[in-house]
Structure formats: C-alpha cells, structure tokens
C-alpha cells in the first residue's frame, strides 16, 4: 500500500487504567456504583478529554499492561467485541459491559511492520476473546463515547524474560512499527500508553473502597522518582527519560516494565516539546499521571 501523506500520530497520552477511576465515575456500563473518589485524577482525565475533543482523530491505538502475551506482541484482529470485563483483583469495583470496534486494517499493518522490523507479532482472531480491563479503562476514561475504532496491543514478557534494556529496545522498535503502519494506512491516530507509574501498592482495602482518607503515596522514594519522571516529560527530555527508564522501573517497581510508555515514546520519536501533565495522584498507593503530548503540527492545526 502506498504511504498516505495524511497518516500521522495526532496526539499521545499516558492514560493509566486503575479500575477504581471507572468505578468512581459511575458510567452506565459498570455494574458497581461509588459515592465519589480519586477526583484529582478524574478531573485530570476531564482536562485531557477537553484537549483531545479539539482534534480530528480516526482511531485510538492503546498498549495495555494487562493483556499479557508470552510469545511476542499481539494485536486485536476481530472487527467487534462485546462482552463483560471483570477485574480479577477488584471484581467488586469493575464489572464493565463493553461494546467496541477494531480497526483491523491498521492492526494488520502494525503486525506486518513489526514483523518486517524483526519482531514476533500475531493478529488475535478469536471472536470470543475477552478484552483486558487495562485497554477498556484507558479508552473509557479518554473517550467515553466509544465512537472511534481502537487497535489494542498486548504486553509481551520481554522485560521479564530478558531485562529492562532489552525490553525497552523492543518497545521502541514496536513503537516505530506502529508509527510506520499509521503513516502507511493514512490514519490520524491517538496513542494511549495505559500504564501506571510507580507501582508499590497497599494490600488491604478499606471497608469503603472510595474512602479517600486511606489514599496516599506508598513510599517517598517512589514519589521522588515519579516527580523526576514527570519533570523530564514537562521539559521535553524524553531521551533522558528513556536512558533512565531501566533504573526507574527497578527503583520504583514501575508498571513501565510492561512497556506501554516506552512504546509511546518510540512511536512519537521521543518528543522534545513539553508534555502537559493533567494530573498526578495515587490509587491504592500507586503513582498515576495523566499526561498529553500534542505534536507541533497538531497544535498548529488547532490554532488555524
């Protein structure tokens, strides 16, 4: 297929997936209901949505830590999925009825580009597959209308089977493959990296899960790391962030170990313009940030 001049990544976001945020928002698709909770993060998602609403987007491409695949990287390759997603650890918070469509042509193009770049890639064709809660939560909080097709990419175990450096290298290659596929198919894509930042968490839940008097950072050291990482993003120093990523993952037990953020930064060619941090907050003690990258071409389009 010939490369289309209109295909590009119009925006990227770090869009973490604690199911608590969906629970606290009370959308009609989720069975449990909450009184309140995690407002700082939820209002950050509101600000991200307001920014994205100004953009012309064809498709959302999301990389999720909770679709774990041991043999390479997989993409959803069935046009529609409709089912009930239940969080395995928080079934009392997240029982979500989803109904979503997939841009199969783009998914196949990502798999082809990944294979051409030497990655093990597979297209998932099982129509009864249950979409993971990370994909659903990030998409729900970023685009609750579900009016766009998605492409979901799994998290391979490369960081765990080898090490963080090998993992990062592979995720950057996957990011570049994703970018090439978007350009070649002419899509205007929004990219979502679904991971939390620091990831030490409490092991005892309060009687009322949304009781915010129990919510706080778990550990000062991991808070310092999260602030450092956000500072680098805000200063456009994403190459430095990539260089420090293996240490960050270890020291803050970060969910970046599942590769989503490294994939996003690779796909966006390591943005040197400032990211917008819409919110930072904790969920069961883990660090979560909602961060947007709007490339200069997109900002210029919005200004016109």
Which one of 58, 215, 226, 255 is in contact with ligand 2X7 (CB under 6 A)? 255
Interface with ligand 2X7, residue 284, by CB under 6 A: yes
CB-CB neighbours of 3 under 10 Å: 10
**How far apart are CB 228 and ligand 2X7 at their closest, in Å?**
20
Interface with ligand 2X7: number of residues (CB under 6 A): 7
Rounded Cα distance, 304 and 31, in Å? 43
Whole-angstrom distance, CA of residue 64 vs CA of residue 25: 21
Strand 286-293 and strand 276-283: the pairing is antiparallel
- Asked if residue 194 binds ligand 2X7 (CB under 6 A), the reply is no
Question: How many degrees, rounded to 5, is the angle at CA 68 between CA 215 and CA 174?
Answer: 105
Candidates 152-160, 204-212, 241-249, 283-291: pick the segment binding ligand 2X7 (CB under 6 A).
283-291
Residue 161: CB minimum distance to ligand 2X7, A: 21
Binding residues among 54-93 for ligand 2X7 as defined by CB under 6 A: none
Question: From CA 145, how far away is CA 143, in angstroms rounded?
Answer: 6
Residue 124 in 3-state DSSP? strand
CB of 179 to ligand 2X7, least distance (A): 26
Instruction: Please tell me whether residue 198 binds ligand 2X7 under the rule CB under 6 A.
Output: no
DSSP per-residue codes, 204-271: S--SSTT-GGG---S-HHHHHHHHHHHHHHHTT-HHHHHHHHHHHHHHTT-GGGGSHHHHHHHHTT--
Closer to ligand 2X7 by Cβ: residue 149 or 167: 167
With contacts defined by CB under 6 A, name the span among 142-150, 155-163, 279-287, 296-304 that binds ligand 2X7: 279-287
283 binding ligand 2X7? (CB under 6 A): yes
C-beta of 66 vs 179, nearer to ligand 2X7:
66
Nearest-angstrom CA–CA distance, 126 and 284: 34
- Residue from 185, 262, 286, 298 binding ligand 2X7 (CB under 6 A): 286
Please report whether residue 104 would count as binding ligand 2X7 according to CB under 6 A: no
Q: Using alpha carbons only, what angle is made at residue 229 by residues 251 and 239, rounded to the nearest 5 degrees?
A: 105
- For ligand 2X7, the closer CB: 238 or 260: 260
Binding site for ligand 2X7 (CB under 6 A): 17-18, 196, 255, 283-284, 286
């Amino acid at each position: 297929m010939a490369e289309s001049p209109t295909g590009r990544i119009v925006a990227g976001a770090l869009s973490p997936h604690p199911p608590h945020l969906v629970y606290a928002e009370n959308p009609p698709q989720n069975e449990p209901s909450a009184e309140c909770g995690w407002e700082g993060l939820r209002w950050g998602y509101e600000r991200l949505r307001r920014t994205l609403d100004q953009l012309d987007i064809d498709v959302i491409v999301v990389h999720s830590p909770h679709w774990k695949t041991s043999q390479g990287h997989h993409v959803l390759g069935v046009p529609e999925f409709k089912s009930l997603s239940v969080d395995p650890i928080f079934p009392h918070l997240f029982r979500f009825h989803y109904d979503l469509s997939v841009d199969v042509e783009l998914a196949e193009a990502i798999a082809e580009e990944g294979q051409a770049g030497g990655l093990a890639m597979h297209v998932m064709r099982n129509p009864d597959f249950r979409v993971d809660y990370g994909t659903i939560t990030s998409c729900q909080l970023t685009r609750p209308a579900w009016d766009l097709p998605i492409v979901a990419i799994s998290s391979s175990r490369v960081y765990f089977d080898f090490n963080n450096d090998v993992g990062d290298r592979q995720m950057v290659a996957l990011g570049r493959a994703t970018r090439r596929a978007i350009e070649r198919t002419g899509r205007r894509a929004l990219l979502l990296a679904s991971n939390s930042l620091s990831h030490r968490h409490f092991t005892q839940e309060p009687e009322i899960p949304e009781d915010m008097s129990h919510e706080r950072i778990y550990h000062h050291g991991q808070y310092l790391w999260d602030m450092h990482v956000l500072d680098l993003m805000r200063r456009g120093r994403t190459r430095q962030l990539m260089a420090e990523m293996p240490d960050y993952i270890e020291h803050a037990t970060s969910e970046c170990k599942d590769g989503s953020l490294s994939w996003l930064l690779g796909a966006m060619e390591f943005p040197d313009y400032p990211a917008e941090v819409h919110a930072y907050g904790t969920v069961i003690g883990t660090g979560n940030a909602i961060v947007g990258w709007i490339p200069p071409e997109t900002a210029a389009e919005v200004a016109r």
